[in-house]
Amino acid sequence: MVDRIVDLVLTDPTGCYLDLTAGGGGHGEAIATRLVGRGRLIALDKDSHAVERVATRLARFGERVSVVQASFSRVAEIAEREQITQVTGILLDLGLSSDQLDTPERGFAFRDEGPLDMRFDLSQDVTAAQVINGYDRHRLIEILRDFGEVPRAMSLVDAFIAARPVTTTAHVVGIVRQSTPPRQQQKRLAQVFQALRIAVNDEMGELDRVLPAATDLLGIGGRLAVLAYHSLEDRRVKQFIKRGGWPEGTVDQPARLLALTKKPMVAEAVEVAHNPRARSAKLRVAERIA
């Protein structure tokens, strides 16, 4: 999917591009490789470990590439600091990276024992332990229901509250297993871990802020590509594009984004075989028209 995405986003090899979720640097590298002349890439990530790795991976491109640590909702400020007023393409590959998932100390994976952390940005205060142990019952139920679509969230939250302090990923896994029939346990664990991660990183708030801010920066003909991994994200992206690139509640504004993908693009079977996470990926691309 990397090449397909870059084919859609990169319309001018001398343009300026933003990879707002640099992660392991795969997409960033594919974009940087195609740039010529004044072509430029800003690769951004919230995670300082990702930023270090991407800076090393993309070092050979010299001044053509800048790697920045920041939340993507701050994209306007970062562009200003980099003296960029308009860009040709923007990529958002949402969620967590395989580096993050495969590092047990980050606490993202239910298959490994680790601390209840789940922060993309390690300088942030709120961790998954604080969410589970500090948030009230009502808020926890909302998190599991809204961000994980967890059925019977109430009884699971009561089990978490009875077990406080919940300290490790293995502790969460044990509580979920005890309250879930065996055949549903894997699915439930994935739902619970997703819900906690979304809450810890305010992923929905970040997405709602970045979409209009990114659209502001696109020049006419510029493209915004978003890869989403679950229906909550994809629905938000779809609605944003449907509203013509304006935040919810905006009235009487002429459309400034046009969908290039009427239906989201999905990964091909070969890619899913190499990277199981690609199974749930949905790509939407839109073009700035006004």
Ligand X SMILES: C[S@@+](CC[C@H](N)C(=O)[O-])C[C@H]1O[C@@H](n2cnc3c(N)ncnc32)[C@H](O)[C@@H]1O
- Interacting residue ranges for ligand X, rule: CB under 6 A: 21, 23-27, 44-47, 50, 71-72, 93, 95-97, 120, 201, 206
Q: Which is nearer to ligand X, 75 or 176 (CB)?
A: 75
Contact 135, 143 (CB under 8 A): yes
Min dist CB 72 to ligand X, Å, is 4
- Give the residue closest to ligand X by C-beta: 23
The amino acid at 221: G
Looking at the Cβ atoms of 140 and 283, the one nearer to ligand X is 283
| 226 token code pair | 């978003």
Chain position carrying tokens 């640590």: 69
Please report how close the Cβ of residue 105 comes to ligand X at its closest, in angstroms: 15
Q: Which amino acid is at 99?
A: D
CA distance 90 to 37: 19
Between 143 and 211, name the residue whose CB sits nearer to ligand X.
211
Query: Closest distance between ligand X and the C-beta of residue 117, in Å?
Result: 13
Tokens 């998932």 map to which residue? Answer: 101
CB 112 within 8 A of CB 104: yes
Measured between alpha carbons, how far apart are the two ends of the chain, in Å? 28
Tell me how many degrees the CA angle 96-235-258 measures, rounded to the nearest 5: 105
Cross-strand pairs, 17: 41, 89
Q: How far is the CB of 260 from ligand X (least distance, A)?
A: 19
Closer to ligand X by CB, 69 or 180: give it.
69
Smallest separation (angstroms) from ligand X to the CB of 21: 3
> Which residues are CB-contacts of 134 (< 8 A; sequence separation ≥ 6)?
none
Q: What angle do CA 86, 87, 91 make, to 5 degrees?
A: 145
State the minimum distance, in angstroms, from the CB of residue 157 to ligand X.
Answer: 25
β partners of residue 168: 115
Least Cβ distance, residue 90 to ligand X (angstroms): 12
Closer to ligand X by Cβ: residue 26 or 264: 26
Nearer of residues 20 and 173 to ligand X, judged by Cβ: 20
45 vs 234, beta carbon nearer ligand X: 45
